[in-house]
Structure 1
Amino acid sequence: MEKSRTEYSTMNTVVAMISRIAAILMGFVTRVVFTHTLSESYVGINGLFTDILNVLSLTELGVETAISYALYRPIAQGDIRKQQILMRMFRTFYRITAGCVVVLGLSIIPFFDVLMKNRPDVDHLMLIYFLYLANSVVSYLLVYKRTLIEVHQLNYIVLLYQTAFLILQDICQIVILFTTHNFIFFLSIYIVCTLLSNICISRKADRMYPYLKEKTKEQLPEDERKDIFRNIKAMLMHKLGNVVVNNTDNLLISSFVGVISVGIYSNYFLLIGSVRQVLDQIFQGITASVGNLGATEDEGRVKSIFETAFFIGNWLYGAAAICLYELLNPFVELAFGKQYLFDMPVVLILCINFYINGTRKAVLTFRDSLGLFWFDRYKALVEAVLNLAISLILVWKFGTFGVFAGTFLSTMLTSVWVEPYVLYRHRLHAKVAPFFVRYVIYTAVTGVIWYGTDRLCLFADGGRVIVFLKRFFICAVVPSLVMLLCFCHTKEFGIVKRKALAIWKKRWTDGRKK
């Protein structure tokens, strides 16, 4: 029996969150072993090379998002021929991308002395970089078939494969670190597991959709080809903005502060990124359903679902930002040691950036799934320029804090208001002012709860472990409880409650029948 969009979204989200939590826990154990078995220089190199290759991911041009959007309608209509044509285009794009990453990755080598202030004394530095580059190239091979599974609202299948290989990768890497302390062997496991994961997912897609193996020489109509290339151009601009804002922090810190500071930030990035990945799975789980929604439903229905998703995002990311602010330093000290601590102003700006970007997730999910990337394409370029300019100015005076403050200011000046404006004007066809009023109210409530929680956490005393546990209890209870009291009578909370009860009732009924 065909599942509803809500059921697909729920299944994808639940599997995604469980898979992501399992992968994160294993990844964290690997990280702790990594920091205790290798020097700070290796920690810094890991963060720096990862960011360099994230910058090179610009060559992907946002093709995956553009092709995914193009696939929603053919899948909803059962048009296999068009799916075949689009997937062939996708394969060609990704093969070109892999080649471009190789060329650009090699061209960066002469500039290593500029990118690394106080270049660390690490053996086989070039070989290490080549291994990072190889893993990036391998990640583009065969991966295009994964998208077809995801667009069919079956993302949970992909996640199960990816999580299994991530856990296998972590176990192997932990064994290597304990037995050999060899960073080269450690990186080799990355490449092997990435390749095996892509091969298994590709074969699964072939079994699920046999028409992928059928050859076709047909071309898309000229107007549809133009639309796809138009969207790819727009996504290139978005990807450029995203890479500059989110993946140049390590490069700036490395160039102006030092590689050791990159190592310190990489631990915070791991923890904050882990929480973000878990919460992002909620929106990743509904992405295909939103695409289907846009292809089959009217504006009023789309607007109602969006505003509910935005409400959920504010609640979850707000509560998580408060928890991170109170728990990050105690946790880092326990896990990695005092030498890896940031001052509280740096932690604060990191958590504020986490919250701001989290509140954007609903908007971005709907923008991408509804194919609106063209309308705010220049925003991404303006944001990138502002981020680099402001960060370069502030890093001279404020160091690491200045880099993250530049990210905050550039986001507030562009994305926070432009993205919702585009969504409301070009798809929902409604006034955006009520949305911004709601946004301000949500943010103000979060700010008040944040301050109150921080005051309560000051009363947590005792040893380091006891303080951490007390703060954890306060953060786990207070923010969500107060938000429940504040929002329990809103329309959006009522929708969430009805949806949850309907799913629970259906599951209960199905279970009784079995």
Structure 2
Amino acid sequence: MIKHSRTFFAMRNALVTGLVTILNFPIQFINRYYMVHYLGIVYLGLTSLFTNILSVLSLADLGLGTSIVFLLYKPLSERNFKKIAVIMKLYRNIYYVIAIVIFLIGLGILPFLKYLVGRNINYPHIYILFIIYLTGSATSYLFSYNQSLLYADQKNHIVAWTNLVVTYIMLTLQVITVLLFKNPLLYAFLFVFSSFVTNIIVTVFVNHIYHLSQYNNGVLNREEIYLLKKNVVGNMFLRISGVIVTGTDNIFLSSFAGVVSVGLYSNYLTITNVLQRIMTQVISAVTGSIGNFITQNKSLRSKRLFFNLQFINFILVSMISLGIYLLSNDVITLWLGDKYIISKLNVFLISMSFYFMNYRMIGWNFISVYGLARYMKIFSINEMIANVLFTLVFLCVFRLKLTGILLGTIVSTLLTVTWQDPYVIFHHAFNSNIIEYMKKYFYNFFILIVEIICLEYMSNLLRALCSSTVLHFFLLSFFIVIVSILVPYLFYIRSFEVKYFNSILTKVLRRS
């Protein structure tokens, strides 16, 4: 019964969050179309730059959120609401402080903003625009902790549907304001406060479901405080590393290539971020189930679950990466026009960066639910240093601009966390070595190469047979889905991963 319940929640969360993200997909592209054509590429570059700057400021979180969520799995499984209330009160108080810290640090950046933007950019209300983004970023922390409780309790669907409704309403208002007023400040205000509105509504749901306010007393015990401190330290370095690796690209690009280049790159990031969100939400939907599973099973079965989920993760990440590589320029052409296209080499590097970063996604989930972040300190530092070092070499020595930034991310990932993350998981969670993992890692990469060769041939053939970009896009999309599922399936035909995959498909079909 417990196994059935866990599977049911995982499937429901994966299906709902995936569906919601897909429903969010078209309106974001429509909204960005109007933003580019009515507010301009410079505004696009500025907002992308500000988003990157504020992602660096989010280091004030220092991994506290992830560490506290780890403490929720056990009391949720035991329905110990008194303990849950204690943890959530601590969570709330910490995030209030973080909101204040982010806002104050952001104000301190204002005098230096012109150096990050570039002195040749003369855009009106640039400081007010930054303050709007800063305020939105700070206020997003005021109630966001309640989402984490729902995620830990496998109630992702509540957050997903709430976010969908709010996003549709707010983005519709954005499009209307762009058409009527062409006011970048009003547009920015509506954009940055969408998450705040979502958090308010989710908070109402949490209060209604859990009634935590009636549990006013209680403190964490010594063991819980010790675990929290250890995980905070580990997550702090993971957080810093993640921000440095992914959150500074536009800052580097603005400094070395200009705000317009940031704008062009951000169009592709819009595509990858939507796809990233789909993948993250589908995979994260099973995180609560992983936490439930490991409390009831030994490391051998947990390792088998890891490889089963890694196989599904590989199919998904390879499918999306292939789509990014082969379809992004079609999307940009149909969406904004061919003058916004970047080189095919850079599109390929964007897709490979997506693949290498997101191949690790299942590992991140296991590190989270096992509370292994405390072992990640030195590895996170290695990734951070390698990324900055290689990026600067490619930018300053070889002057490769966007190509250099993408190569810096790929090279640093391959040399560090590609093997460091699984080492921590297999050594500390599964009491095993990583040889089996690395064999499958290279095996899967070989499968990806086979898929690229097949689909590159199909793409060229379709391009020769049909002159319509729309027709090429839909036909190639179909082949990408088929190839990215069929090829791995054939290469793993007799494995326990395929048996698990078949069982998941069977359950989905029975429920449909």
Interval containing the TM-score (normalised by the shorter chain): over 0.9
Deviation at 1:191, TM superposition (A): 4.4
One-letter identity of the residue aligned with 1:232:
V
Q: Which residue of 1 aligns with 2:166?
A: 165
Q: Which residue of 2 aligns with 1:24?
A: 25
Q: Which residue of 1 aligns with 2:14?
A: 13
Q: Which residue of 1 aligns with 2:424?
A: 422
Q: Which residue of 2 aligns with 1:479?
A: 484
Deviation at 1:118, TM superposition (A): 4.7
Q: Which residue of 2 aligns with 1:409?
A: 411
* Secondary structure of 1:108 counterpart: helix
One-letter identity of the residue aligned with 2:311:
F
Mapping 1:329-344, distance limit 5 Å: 329-344=329-344
Give me the whole-angstrom Cα distance separating, in 1, the residues matched to 2:199 and 2:474.
Answer: 40
Cα deviation 1:241-295 (Å, max 9, x = unaligned): 0000011000000011110000001000000111121122221101111111122
Mapping 1:441-460, distance limit 5 Å: 441-459=443-461, 460=463
Give me the whole-angstrom Cα distance separating, in 1, the residues matched to 2:82 and 2:408.
Answer: 47
Give me the whole-angstrom Cα distance separating, in 1, the residues matched to 2:134 and 2:170.
Answer: 18
Q: Which residue of 2 aligns with 1:354?
A: 354
Cα deviation 1:417-474 (Å, max 9, x = unaligned): 0000110000111221011101111110111211221122112131433443443343
Contact 1:118 1:258 in 2 (8 A): no
Deviation at 1:476, TM superposition (A): 3.5
Contact 2:162 2:202 in 1 (8 A): yes
Q: Which residue of 2 aligns with 1:491?
A: 496
One-letter identity of the residue aligned with 1:488:
I
Contact 1:117 1:257 in 2 (8 A): no
Q: Which residue of 2 aligns with 1:222?
A: 222
Deviation at 1:390, TM superposition (A): 0.8
Change (3 A) 1:82 1:469: closer
Give me the whole-angstrom Cα distance separating, in 2, the residues matched to 1:495 and 1:464.
Answer: 38
Q: Which residue of 2 aligns with 1:242?
A: 242
Cα deviation 1:316-345 (Å, max 9, x = unaligned): 111221121111112212211223211111
Mapping 1:353-432, distance limit 5 Å: 353-396=353-396, 397=398, 398-432=400-434
One-letter identity of the residue aligned with 1:480:
I
Quick check: 97-106 or 490-499, which moved more? 490-499
Q: Which residue of 2 aligns with 1:138?
A: 139
Give me the whole-angstrom Cα distance separating, in 2, the residues matched to 1:134 and 1:443.
Answer: 43
Mapping 1:115-130, distance limit 5 Å: 115-130=116-131
What is the root-mean-square deviation of aligned Cα atoms in Å?
A: 1.6
Contact 1:44 1:266 in 2 (8 A): yes
Quick check: 78-87 or 482-491, which moved more? 482-491
* Secondary structure of 1:296 counterpart: coil
Give me the whole-angstrom Cα distance separating, in 2, the residues matched to 1:142 and 1:317.
Answer: 31
Contact 2:272 2:324 in 1 (8 A): yes
Q: Which residue of 2 aligns with 1:512?
A: none
Q: Please say if 1:185 is aligned against 2:190.
A: no
Deviation at 1:213, TM superposition (A): 4.4
Contact 1:62 1:235 in 2 (8 A): yes
Q: Which residue of 2 aligns with 1:511?
A: none
TM-score, normalization by structure 1: 0.95
Q: Which residue of 2 aligns with 1:104?
A: 105
One-letter identity of the residue aligned with 1:495:
Y
Contact 1:113 1:119 in 2 (8 A): no
Cα deviation 1:25-84 (Å, max 9, x = unaligned): 211111111111111100101110011111111101111111111111111123222212
One-letter identity of the residue aligned with 2:12:
M
Query: Where does the alignment leave 5 or more consecutive residues of structure 2 unmatched?
Result: none
Deviation at 1:119, TM superposition (A): 4.2
Deviation at 1:195, TM superposition (A): 2.7
Cα deviation 1:478-506 (Å, max 9, x = unaligned): 3333333333332101112123324544x
Aligned match for 1:501, one of 496, 506, 511: 506
* Secondary structure of 2:295 counterpart: helix
Aligned match for 2:438, one of 425, 436, 441: 436
Change (3 A) 1:212 1:284: farther
One-letter identity of the residue aligned with 1:241:
S
Give me the whole-angstrom Cα distance separating, in 2, the residues matched to 1:237 and 1:87.
Answer: 23
Give me the whole-angstrom Cα distance separating, in 1, the residues matched to 2:50 and 2:44.
Answer: 10
Change (3 A) 1:503 1:271: closer
One-letter identity of the residue aligned with 1:401:
T
Contact 2:235 2:376 in 1 (8 A): no
Give me the whole-angstrom Cα distance separating, in 1, the residues matched to 2:70 and 2:54.
Answer: 26
Give me the whole-angstrom Cα distance separating, in 2, the residues matched to 1:473 and 1:68.
Answer: 39
Cα deviation 1:392-436 (Å, max 9, x = unaligned): 110132111001100011111111100001100001112210111
Aligned match for 1:465, one of 462, 470, 493: 470
One-letter identity of the residue aligned with 1:501:
T
Contact 2:237 2:376 in 1 (8 A): no
Give me the whole-angstrom Cα distance separating, in 2, the residues matched to 1:75 and 1:99.
Answer: 30
Contact 1:74 1:83 in 2 (8 A): yes
Change (3 A) 1:463 1:147: closer
Cα deviation 1:354-411 (Å, max 9, x = unaligned): 1111210111111111111111221111111111111011013211100110001111
Change (3 A) 1:370 1:212: farther
Mapping 1:228-307, distance limit 5 Å: 228-307=228-307
Change (3 A) 1:264 1:456: same
One-letter identity of the residue aligned with 1:28:
F
Mapping 1:303-342, distance limit 5 Å: 303-342=303-342
Contact 1:118 1:259 in 2 (8 A): no
Mapping 1:22-101, distance limit 5 Å: 22-101=23-102
Give me the whole-angstrom Cα distance separating, in 2, the residues matched to 1:487 and 1:176.
Answer: 52
Change (3 A) 1:25 1:50: same
Could you tell me the percent identity over the aligned residues? 25
Deviation at 1:186, TM superposition (A): 0.7
* Secondary structure of 2:220 counterpart: coil
Contact 1:253 1:262 in 2 (8 A): yes
Give me the whole-angstrom Cα distance separating, in 2, the residues matched to 1:346 and 1:404.
Answer: 8
TM-score, normalization by structure 2: 0.95
Quick check: 448-457 or 231-240, which moved more? 448-457
One-letter identity of the residue aligned with 2:174:
Q
Give me the whole-angstrom Cα distance separating, in 1, the residues matched to 2:481 and 2:72.
Answer: 40
